[in-house]
Amino acid sequence: MKEKGYKQGYEVEEMEVPADLSDDAKAAFEEGYQEGLKKRQEEVTQEGFDAAFKKETYELPDTYDEGSKQEDWFKKGFESNTEAAPLREEAFQQGKAGKKMTIPEEWAENEAAAAMFERHYVKGKEERAERNRLLIMGGIAAAAVVVVVVWVLVRREK
């Protein structure tokens, strides 16, 4: 009976204890229901936490209905992730500075965190490349101005 309760709780259904059960079976069903519900809550909360590494703003996945327990759990997990923003910034700054990508050890095993870190590291590298391109273009433009000014000055002296 505990397994049936667990399944019902895990599927986040309203608890419906069959009336024809003995008191012990009802207690086992209810215990299973609570265990299943708790397990599902942990999974959805973790899913929300990991989503903060994938998206910078909260967005409810299509798999959950608005106003549902799953939405509450998912949002709680998303909002509890206070590490994503600083980790994003660290990755970006590493890339921008041209440093070797070094994912902090505590996040290396988390696939969502590692993927986010790599994305923002690449964004930092791209910004560095763009900045360098602009500096080179500015240097070429400045050199061209100097050449033109020198040429004009030389022609005036003649």
Output b/e per residue, 95-126; b: 16+ Cβ within 10 A.
bbeeeeeebeeebeebebbbebbebbbeebbe
- Helices 23-54 and 69-80 cross at an angle (nearest 10°) of 50
Is 157 a residue whose pLDDT tops 80? Answer: no
Nearest 5°: phi and psi at 144?
-65, -40
Is 21 a residue whose pLDDT tops 90? Answer: no
Q: Of how many residues is the chain composed?
A: 158
pTM of the entire structure? 0.71
Domain residue spans in the chain? 1-81, 82-158
pLDDT tens sequence across 88-142? 999 999 999 989 999 888 888 888 888 888 999 999 988 888 887 888 888 888 8
What distance in Å separates the CA atoms of residue 47 and residue 68, rounded to the nearest whole number?
A: 15
